[in-house]
Structure 1
Amino acid sequence: MSSSNIDEICDLWKASLLQYGGRSPRQDHKDLYNAIDRIASGGVGWDSFTLNYDEDRPECDAPSWMDDEHEIWFRDPKEIVEEMLANPDYSEEIDFAPLRDYDGEGQRRYQNLLSGQWAWDQADIIVKDDPTITDASFVPVILGSDKTTVSVAWTGQTDYYPLYLSVGNVHNEVRRAHRNAVAVIGFLAIPNFTKQNQNDIYYRKWRRKLYHASIARILQPLRAGMTTPVLTRCGDGFYRKVIYGLGPYIADYPEQVLLASVVQRWCANHLPITFHAQISISFLLQIYSIKLSREPLRITLWSCLLAEDAEEVLDDIDRRIALAPPFTGLRRFPQGRGFKQWTGDDSKALMKVYLPAILGYVPDDMVQALRAFLEFCYLVRRNVFTAETFSQMEETLEHYYKYREIFQKSGACPKGYELPRQHSLKHYLWLTILFGAPNGLCSSITESKHIAAVKEPWRRTNRFKALVQMLIINTRKDKLAAARTDFEARGMLDGGVPFQLDEQQHLPAAVAHVRETIAAVNQEHKRAEALRLRLQLQQQSAQSAEQDNREESPEAFEGPPDRGRVDMAVETQSCYPSTVEGLAEYLDDPSFPSLVHDFLTGYLDKSLTLDPDEVDDDEVKGSLAYVHHSAAATYFAPSDACGTGGMHREHLRVTRSWWKGPARYDCALVRADDDAEVHLTAGGFTVVRIKLLFSLKRAAKRYPCALVHWFSRTFHATEQVTGLYSVAPQYYDSGDPFLEVIPISSIYRAAHSIPVYSEDHLLPHTLSFDQTLDSFSHFFINKFADHHMFATIPGFDLGVCSREGRGIPEGLVVGGEENSNCEGGGLGGGNREEDEEAEAG
C-alpha cells in the first residue's frame, strides 16, 4: 500500500492506545520500512556496473549508439543460490545428488532435473576431472530471461529485461509454485536504436556482445565454486560441500536466437559442435515453449470454405464454440472467435473446445493434425515421463507430421513449414531425457514471475527512476518472505500472537483493547466486503446470460497427495422442501422416494447391517433432506495449477440459478466400484449428470448423496477423427430418464461434455449454452478440458452404466427419442460414419 495509507494506519494504532498509555510499535511508514530493512535474513543487496562500446570506430560520423553507456543492475548470484539452498521451506523437496528413478515395472522415470541424464553425466565429468571432490553435491544453476512490458498507455511503452535464477536441485512443483525458488538477479540493458541502427550489422553484433557480456559479468561470483567445492548450509540444518554448474536456460525462441547467436529460423540445437565451444554449450541446452497461434488456422479455414456459404459456416462454428457448457477452469467464448485482441491464454482456452466445433466443416486431416498437436502439448506437460510416455510422444508427433500435409496441399502453407516452434517439437524427447519434465523448466515460470518481480513493483512506484524503487521493493519482499519462513521454522507463528499471550496469561489491557479494535475493524471490513459483493452480483445479474464470460478458476490445494475425495458444501439451501416427499414434488418426479429407498437398502454403510425389509416407504418419504448447491472434488493432479503436494480442487455446481443467471447441472466422472483403487490412467469410471446434491438424515446421521442421470458410451472405440469418446444420456422406453441416487463418495471429479454437432443443420441463434446439455442427444467427453482429464480419460470405462456394473436395464434407450430431434432440426447429431467403422473394427 502507499506510504500515506501506512501512516494513517499507524495514527489509528496510536489513537487506540493513548488512553492506556501504550505506544504503537510503528510510528510511520519510515519506521516500518526501516524495520523491514533491518531483517537479517534474505534480501541480497543490489549493485550495478556499466558497459559501453570499446571496439573500432569510424573516423567520422560515428553512430550515436557507440557513445551510449548501459547500466546493468544485479545481485550476487552466489548469495542467492546459498539463500535458496538454506531455505527450510522446501528442505524435504530438494535433491543433492543425481539419481535414476525407476517404477515398479523397472521403467526409468524422468521428473525433476536431477533425475535426468544430463545431471548424471555432469557429475561423472566433475569426478573425472578431480577425483578428490567425490563428496560434493552438484548444484545446477538455471537461468532465464525475457523482456516484459509494464506500460503502453499514458506513459508510453516501458520495457524491462529481468534475468532470473533458480537451482536445479529443488523439485519442479516448488519452482512452479514460486516458493522463493525463482529469484530475479538482474535487469539487463535494453539498447536504444533507430530503424537505421536495426539494420546495421555492427550494431546487431554489439547488441549480442552486450547481452553475453552482461550475463558473464553477473555470473562471475559463481566461477570459483565451479571448480572448488564451497561449504554451504542447507535447509535441513546440515552443511554440505557444493559445486556449481550452469544448467539449462529458460527462453522462448526469440531469446534463444539472441542467446545462441544464430540467425532467425535456425535451430540452436543443430549447430556444429565447434561453434558450441565458442560461446557456452550450457547456454544452448534450452527448453522450448509451445505457443498456439490462431492465424494460420483462420487462413486455412478460409482456404477450405470456398463455397458461397463460407461466412454462414464460420458463424455456425462460432455458435458451436459459444454453446460449450461451463466447466471449472474453462473459459467461455460467448461470441465464438470474435475477439479483437488475443492473448496466448485465449488461444489455449479456445483450442480446448475447438475440435468438435470444426468437425465436419474442414477436412478430417486438418482436425486430426490439430488433435495430434494438442495431444502432444498435453503429453509434454506431464509430471513424470517413462519409456511409455516417450513412445506416445513419438507416435503422436508422427501423426502430426503426417496429417499436417493437408495445410500445404490446401494452400495455407504453400512454401512448407518453417515455424521454429513446430521444429522444436522434435527436440522435446531428448531434452526431457536430459533435463526431466519440461513443466519444471518452461517459459511460463518466468512469464508468471514477471508479475511479482516487475509489474507489481512498478505499479507501486511513482514512475520517477522507477527501476531503483523496484529494486528496493523486491529486496523488502524477499526479506519479509525470508523472515516469515524463519519464523515458521522456529514455530513462532503457531497459534498466533494473541493465542500465545493468552496461554502465558500475560495479556495486558492495552493489547486486549487492540485485539478488540482489530476484531471490530475486521467485522466492518467483512460487512463492507459483503455489500460490495452484493452490489457486484446485482450488476452481474443485470447482464445477459449470453454475454456471461466468467471463468471459474480451479483452486490449488496444499497438502500431501492422496486418493482424492468429494466434500459436500457446508451451507444448505433453505428455499427447498426439507423432506424426501417434498423434494419429489419439487422435482416433479414420483420415483424419487423409491430411488432414495434403493439407496438406503443398497448403498448405506455395510456396518449398519440394514435389512431391506426394515426400510419403510412412508418412513423414507418423511426423511429429512438438505439440498446443497455445490460439492468440492479434491484429487491428485500434479500437472495442473496446484499446490506443491500436487493436489487440485474444483467445484461441481448443481443449482437452479448460477450467478443469478440460468441453471447449471454439471457432469461428473463416477467410480464404478468404490472399493477399487483408482488409477489416473486406468478404468473404473462412467459419466453422469448431477441433477441434485442433498444430504439425507437418518438415525441422527447425515449421508451426502447425489441424484444423477446416467450416461453410457455409444461406441466402444473413440471417434476416429477427434479421438474423443462419445456418450449419451439413458432413457427408458417411456421417455423417463434413467436416474439413481448415489453417495457422493462415488464421484471422482467433474467432466466436460461437448455436443456431437450435426453436419446437416445450422444451429439456431436462440439456443444458449445453458440449454446445451438438455438439447443434444450425444456428447463428446472432452479430454482436453485440463491436463488431469487428459490423463484420466483414455483408459476409463464408459461402457458401464451403473456402479454395480449391471449393464443397461431392460427397456432402456441410449440417447432418448425426445432429444434426437430438437427445435431447429438435427441438434442430436448422433455419430459419424467413421464411428460405425470403428465399432465394426
Structure 2
Amino acid sequence: MAICNGCGISVKRSGLLPHLRLSGDLRCQRELQKHRAGDGELSSDSDMESVNSSAILSDSAVNSRLAKSVNAIPSISIPSVFGPALARDEPKQNFSMQVDVVGDFFGDYQDYSLSEFGTEEAHEGLDLDDSKHGLEPNRPTSLQTSSDQPDDEIPVHDDIMQEKAACLRGGYEEKLKNQPFVVKFTRGNPGAVVSRGGHDENTRYSSAVGNSDNPYAPFASKMEWDIARWAKLWGPSSTAFTELMGIQGVVESLGISFKNTTELNKVIDKELPGRPAFQRHEVMVGSEVCDVYFQDVIACVKALFGDPNFTPYLMFAPEKQYTDDTKEVRMYHDMHTGRWWWSTQEELETQKPGTTIIPIIISTDKTQLTLFRNKSAYPLYLTIGNIPKEIRRKPSFRGYVLLAYLPTTRLEGVTNQAQCRRLLSNLYHACMRKVLQPLEEAGVSGMSVTSGDSLVRRGHPLFASFIGDYPEQVLTTGCFTGECPGCPVHRDELGDYPPDGPPGFRDLDAILKALDSFDSDPAGFLQTCARAGIKPLVKPFWKNLPYAHIYRSITPDILHQLYQGVINHLIGWITEACEHDQMCCILLGLVIDVQLPDGISNVRLVHSVRALLDFLYLAQYPLIKLYGTTDNFNTKYTERLHIDLAKDAYAATNFKDEFTQMTTWLERKEKILRHDQYVQWRLNGSPPPPEPQEWLPPGLELDRTLSMAKHPSVRAVPIDRLEHVYGAQFFRTALRQFVALSNEPHLTSAQLERKLWDIRLPFLTLPIWHKIKYLYPDPLTHAPSTADSIHSRPAKKDKRGRPVPGRFDTALINDGTGEDTGIQGYCIARIRVVFSLPERSIPLMFNDDVDVPKHLAYVEWYTAFPDTPDPDHLLYKVSPMKYQDGGRICSIIPLANIRRSTHLLPKFGSVAPQAWTSSTILDLCDHFFVNTFTDRHFYRIFI
C-alpha cells in the first residue's frame, strides 16, 4: 500500500499515480506536478510503465485516433455529379473506436475502459468521487471492463444493450412514420350527437348582427370596418385615434359613422356579440381587499368547442393507436390517444352513455407587466383537449382563452412570513375555486355543447391537466418546495427508484381525508396535513372537481424544467469548469475539446452534456411509444400569450385601475377578431361547415417543400464573376462534368476525364439566387410557413458603406438513395452558387433527351460520413475535400438533392485561433462535427 502525500488517502502502490491524475484535490495536483518534474518518487519502473499505459489520452493522442485523412484524392481528377459517387472512389475512412450509445442513453459508464484509468487492482481503495469539487458528477467506484485487451478491442456493450439503444431511436422511428393502427372506443357511444341545432355557429352569429346583406354589418362599409379593425388591433392609442378623427375633413373624406374612440367603442360593445363580460369579485385577505377578474368558464368552454375554425379537427372520443396491427407498441401523441381519456370514458359510460368528454387544460404563470412601475399580472389561461395540440399550441389560432386575472398581492402588511405564505396559498385556491366552481356540476351532470357545424352533444367538462412552472406546481398541489409535485418520494431520494420500479403518484384519498379534517379537528389540522405530506390547504380548488386527480394532472414543463432547469444547471456547471470566453461556442461543440482545470479528463463532461441534450430533445418528440408526449404541455406557449393578453392590454390603459381597463380592452379585441372571422366567411360565400377531417399523428415532421423565388436575386452574372466573387473557382470544369455525365451517364472515370476537354461552353450569363427556402404547411390553414433556409451570397456593403461578409451555408445532400431518416445516402456540402441555365443555351450543351433541372447548385464537398460517430459525443466528423494543391473538390448538382441546411461545429482543439470568425471559419478550419442539435427536425432525421 502507499500513502498519498497530498490528501493522505491509502491506495495500492500501483494506483498512486492514477489517483493523483484523477483527484480534484489541489494538494494531489501539486504532488502530480512534482512527479512530472521528476521531484517525486515512483515505486519502480514497472509502476511507471503501468502509469503511462493507464494515463488518460492526451489531446494529440485523441486527435491521432479520431482524425481522418483529408489528403485522399479521387482516382479521377474531377468528381462525379453526386457526392457519394465521389466517396466511392476514395479510400474508405473509418473510426477505430466503438460507438457508446448505451452510455449516453442509459446513464452507463461501461464504455470507460480501465486502460484509461489504471488496472482493476489500482482502483481498490481509490476515491473516484470528485463531485465535492464541483466539476464532475457522481460516478461508479468500480468499472466492469477488463484492461487486459487493447483499447480498440474492448467490447463496449453486449448485444442486448446495443439492441435497446437502437430501439430508443433508429429502430422505432421508422415505424412512427407509418399511419397508425387505430383501436376505437367501442363501449357505449362516446361523442354521440344528441341533436342538430339547425344553425351553425356562423349562421347564429349572422342573426346576432342583423342578417344584413352587408357582410361588414354593423359597420356600414368595408372602409369603416377596416378602420375599426385597424384601430383595435394595430392602431395607435385611444387618444391618438380620437385626435386623428378630429382632424377637419377626415371623417367626411373616409365616410365613416364614428367620430372618435368613444363612438367606436359603443358600436363594438352594443352591436357585436361576444362572450359574457369579465366579472370582478373582491376577496378579503386579512385586512387587505384583493380583486379577481374572471369570465364564465362554461361560456369559454362552449366558445372554444363551437369555434368554426376548429370544427373539422375536434376529437370526441378516445383512441388507442399502435405502430401496426400486432398492437405490441402503443403510440401517444395527443390527449385523445392517452390513458386518462380512455379510462375516464370507461367510467363515465357506465353512468352517462354517449358522453363527450371535454378535457379542461389550464395554465397559469405570473408575469411582469412593466419594469418601471413593478406591475405584475397573474393570468389564468384555458383550452380544451378536444382541439389537437398542433392547433392549440399556436397563439395565432386562439386555441387558448384568458379565463381570469388572479390577485398579485404580496400581503406586505402581514409580517409573519409563514402566515403570509399560508394566506397567499389559500388566496390562490379560493380564487381558483371561484373561477372553476361551475365545472363541479357540469362535469357530473353534463351540459349541451354545440360544435361549429350545429351538432349538439352532451359534454362533460373535466379538469384534466395543469400547466405551470415548478413554483405554480408546488402552489397547486400543496407539496413542499424541493419535492416532486406528483410522487411521494423524499426530496433527497429523487431519481433513486426502488428495485420494483417508480413509486407511483401520491395517495389522493389519504390527502383528501387529511384535508377533510379541517372541519372535524381544526386544532390538529396542521399535524394531520404534515403527516399526509402536504401543506395545510383550506379547500383546494381541485378537491370537489369530478374525476380530478391533481397529482396525475401535473405535467412536465419543457420551458422551465428542461431549458431553464436542467440545461441552465448544465450551463452553470460548465461555466464553473471552463473559462467564460469559451461559452461562445455551441454547448456540445464547446466541451468536445475543452481543457478542464488540473488536467482532468473531459470525457465524462462530454458524455453528460450529450446525455442531457438527448433527454431534452427526446422529451419534446411529438410522438412517442411510452406514457405520453410533453410537447403540448409547455409554458412557452402561454409565455407568448402573456404578450397578447397581458402586456399589450396593460399598455393600452392609463395605468389607473388597470385591470378593469385591461379586461374591457380584451373583450373588445376578442369581438373584433370574431367579427373578422365572420366577415371572411361572408366574403367567401357563406360556405357550409367543412366536413370532419382525419387528424393523423404529427409524426416526425419530416416533410418540407423546397421553394424558390420566382425571380432571381441577380439576373445575369458571368462565369468570371462567379469564380472571383462567389468563390466558385472550378465552376467551368464542374459545369463541363455535369454536361458530360448528363449526356452520357455511364462514362467511366477515364472516359469522363478525356471527354471534359471536348465540351465547349457557350458564353453564359446566369441568373443567380441567393436564398433557398423550405416550407411546411400550417396544420389549420394549410398556408405555407418558412421552416428552413440556406444562403449563398457574396460579400457586399450595407447602406452605410460598411462591408458585409459573404455567406455560403452548408447543407445536407441526398444522392437519391437517402431515406426520411438516417445518414445513409447523405453527405455534407457547402453551397456556393444557386443558378439556372438559360433556356437558349440548353440545346447547345445537352442532348435532346436530357431533362435539365430548372435550378442547379455548385457545391464544395466534405468527406463522407464515417461508419460510426465519435464514441464520446456521438457526432460525425467531416472535413473539406481537397486536391493536393489545396483546392476544394466541387460539383454541380440538382437543387432538389439538397435536403436542408446543416450546422457544422468546428473542432477547436485546446485553443481556437483568433482568425476564426463566423464568416471565415468554414474556410480556415479543417475538421468539423455535424451538429445534430440544430433543431428538432434535424435531430429526428439524423439518426
TM-score range, shorter chain: 0.5 to 0.7
Residue of structure 2 in register with 1:31 after alignment: 263
Aligned with 2:341 (options 119, 133, 136): 119
Structure 1 match to 2:657: 465
**1:699-714 to 2 correspondence within 5 Å?**
699=840, 703-713=854-864
Q: Could you report, residue by residue, the CA deviation over 1:711-763 in whole angstroms, capped at 9, with x for unpaired residues?
A: 1246321112222111111112332211011121111111000111223xx22
**Aligned twin of 1:793:** 942
How far apart, in 2, do the equivalents of 1:624 and 1:246 lie? 66
Given that 2:791 and 2:808 are in contact with CA atoms closer than 8 Å, whether structure 1 keeps it comes out as yes
Cα shift at 1:698: 2.2
How many angstroms apart in 2 are the aligned matches of 1:33 and 1:159?
A: 27
- Find the counterpart in structure 1 of residue 621 from structure 2: 382
Partner SS for 1:649:
strand
My pick for the range that moved more, 779-788 or 227-236, is: 227-236
Counterpart of 1:286 in structure 2 is 554
**How many matched pairs?**
613
Show the counterpart of 1:651.
Answer: 789
Instruction: Give, as a single letter, the amino acid of the residue that structure 2 aligns with 1:183.
Output: V
Which amino acid is 1:126 matched to? Answer: L
Alignment CA distance shift 1:582-1:619 (3 Å) = farther
The residue aligned with 1:698 is: 839
Tell me how large the CA RMSD over aligned residues is: 3.4
2:912 is matched with which residue: 760, 763, 783?
763
**Higher mean C-alpha displacement, 747-756 vs 288-297:** 288-297
Residue 415 (structure 2) aligned to one of 197, 220, 227 = 197
CA-CA distance at 1:617 after TM superposition: 6.7
Match of 1:7 in 2: 242
The separation in 2 between residues aligned to 1:262 and 1:561, in whole angstroms, is 38
Identify if the C-alpha distance between structure 1 residues 3 and 266 changes in structure 2 by more than 3 Å, giving closer, same or farther. same
CA drift at 1:661: 1.6
1:825-840 → structure 2 map (5 Å cutoff)? none
How much does 1:6 deviate?
A: 2.1
- Give distance in 1, aligned partners of 2:913 and 2:704: 41
Find the counterpart in structure 2 of residue 81 from structure 1. Answer: 301
User: What CA deviation, in whole Å up to 9, does each residue of 1:224-276 have, x standing for no partner?
Assistant: 22112322110233222211111110011111111111111111212333344
Contact 1:355 1:722 in 2 (8 A): no
Q: Kindly tell me: are residues 646 and 299 of structure 1, through their superposed partners in 2, closer, same or farther at Cα, counting changes over 3 Å?
A: same
User: Which residue identity does 1:489 align to in structure 2?
Assistant: W
In structure 2, the CA distance between the partners of 1:439 and 1:588, relative to structure 1 (3 Å rule), is closer
Q: Compared with structure 1, are the counterparts of its residues 360 and 233 closer, same or farther at alpha carbon in structure 2 (3 Å cutoff)?
A: same
Secondary structure (helix, strand or coil) at the match of 1:708 reads strand
Shift of 1:2: 0.9
Matches within 5 A, 1:709-728: 709-713=860-864, 715-728=866-879
Please show how residues 109-188 of structure 1 align to structure 2 within 5 Å: 109-128=331-350, 130=351, 133-153=352-372, 155=373, 157-178=374-395, 179-188=397-406
Contact 2:621 2:631 in 1 (8 A): yes
Report the CA distance between 1:176 and its aligned residue: 1.3
Query: Higher mean Cα deviation, 476-485 or 661-670?
Result: 476-485
Q: How does 1:357-372 map to 2 (within 5 A)?
A: 358=594, 363-372=602-611
Alignment deviations for residues 558-597 of structure 1 (CA, whole Å, 9 cap, x no partner)? 9x988423223344344x8634466346557664223223
Match in the other structure for 1:626: 767
For 2:588 and 2:414, locate their aligned partners in 1 and report how far apart those are by CA, in whole Å. 43
Q: 1:741 aligns with which of 892, 895, 900?
A: 892
Q: Is this contact kept in 2: 1:561–1:636, CA < 8 A?
A: no
Q: 1:592 maps to what in 2?
A: 731
Structure 1 CA distance for aligned equivalents of residues 937 and 778 of structure 2: 6
- Distance of aligned partners of 1:381 and 1:681 in 2 relative to their CA distance in 1, 3 Å threshold: farther
Q: 1:778 aligns with which of 900, 906, 927?
A: 927
Q: Which runs of 5+ in 1 are unaligned?
A: 54-65, 305-312, 323-349, 391-432, 496-557, 607-611, 795-841
Is the CA contact (8 Å cut-off) linking 2:726 and 2:833 kept in structure 1?
A: no
TM-score, length basis structure 1: 0.67
Q: Which has the higher contact order (CA 8 A, sep 6+)?
A: 2
Given the superposition, is the C-alpha separation of residues 460 and 590 from structure 1 closer, same or farther in structure 2, using an over 3 Å criterion? closer
Does the 8 Å contact 1:637/1:646 carry over to 2? yes
Alignment partner of 1:314 is 2:579: yes
Residue 252 of structure 1 is matched in structure 2 by 469
- Structure (1 or 2) with the larger CA radius of gyration: 2
> Which amino acid in the other structure matches residue 595 of structure 1?
A
Q: Of 319, 327, 333, which residue of structure 2 is paired with 1:99?
A: 319
SS of equivalent to 1:190: coil
- In the TM superposition, what whole-angstrom CA distance separates every residue of 1:418-474 from its partner, at most 9, and x where no partner exists? xxxxxxxxxxxxxxx2xx421111121221111111011111211111111111111
Equivalent-residue separation in structure 2 for 1:124 and 1:464 (angstroms): 51
Which residue pairs with 2:278 in the alignment? 46
Alignment of structure 1 residues 650-689 onto 2, 5 Å: 650-657=788-795, 660-673=803-816, 678-680=819-821, 683-689=824-830
CA shift at 1:647, angstroms?
5.9
Local SS of the residue matching 1:291: helix
Task: Give 1:27 deviation, angstroms.
Answer: 2.2
Match among 712, 729, 737 for residue 572 of structure 1: 712
Is this contact kept in 2: 1:13–1:24, CA < 8 A?
A: no
SS at match of 1:164: strand
Alignment of 1:210-609 (within 5 A): 210-270=427-487, 271-277=506-512, 278=515, 279=540, 280=542, 281-284=548-551, 285-289=553-557, 290-292=562-564, 296-297=569-570, 300-301=573-574, 304=577, 314=579, 317-318=582-583, 321=584, 351=587, 354-356=590-592, 358=594, 363-386=602-625, 390=626, 433=627, 436-492=628-684, 563-574=703-714, 578-580=717-719, 583-584=722-723, 591-602=730-741
CA distance in 2, matches of 1:720, 1:757: 18
Match of 1:593, SS?
helix
Alignment TM-score, normalising by the size of structure 2 = 0.60
Structure-2 change in CA distance of 1:96 and 1:783 (3 Å)? same
Preserved contact between residue 672 and residue 685 of structure 1 (Cα < 8 Å): yes
1:207 aligns with 2:424: yes
- Residue pair 2:809, 2:831 contacting (<8 A) in 1 also: yes
Q: Which amino acid aligns with 2:705?
A: R
8 Å CA contact 1:563–1:678 kept in 2: the answer is: no
In 2 relative to 1, CA 187–81 (structure 1 residues): closer, same or farther, beyond 3 Å? same
Instruction: Describe the shift of the 1:605–1:475 C-alpha distance in structure 2 as closer, same or farther (beyond 3 A).
Output: farther
Following superposition, the deviation at residue 602 of structure 1 comes to 4.1
- In structure 2, the CA distance between the partners of 1:577 and 1:699, relative to structure 1 (3 Å rule), is closer
Q: What amino acid sits opposite 1:440 in the alignment?
A: N
1:615-641 deviation line (CA, Å, top 9, x unaligned): 997763423411221111225799xxx
For the 8 Å contact 1:597–1:617, the answer to whether it is kept is no
Match of 1:554 in 2: none
Tell me if the contact between 1:113 and 1:437 (Cα under 8 Å) persists in the aligned partners: no
Shift of 1:687: 1.0
Secondary structure of the 2:563 match is: coil
Matched-pair contact (CA < 8 Å) for 1:573–1:627: yes
Q: Aligned letter for 1:471? A: T
Identity value in percent: 20
Distance 1:298 1:783, change over 3 A: closer
Cα pair distance change 1:635/1:718, threshold 3 Å: farther
Instruction: Using the TM superposition, give the Cα deviation of residue 353 of structure 1 relative to its aligned residue in structure 2, in angstroms.
Output: 5.3
Give ranges in structure 2 of 5+ residues lacking alignment.
1-235, 488-505, 516-539, 543-547, 688-697, 746-751, 843-852
Cα deviation for residue 605 of structure 1 reads: 14
- The 1:198/1:104 distance shift into structure 2, 3 A limit, reads farther
Shift of residue 778, structure 1, vs aligned partner: 1.0
| Equivalent-residue separation in structure 2 for 1:645 and 1:355 (angstroms) | 41
The verdict on how the C-alpha distance between 1:164 and 1:316 changes in structure 2, with shifts beyond 3 A counting, is: closer
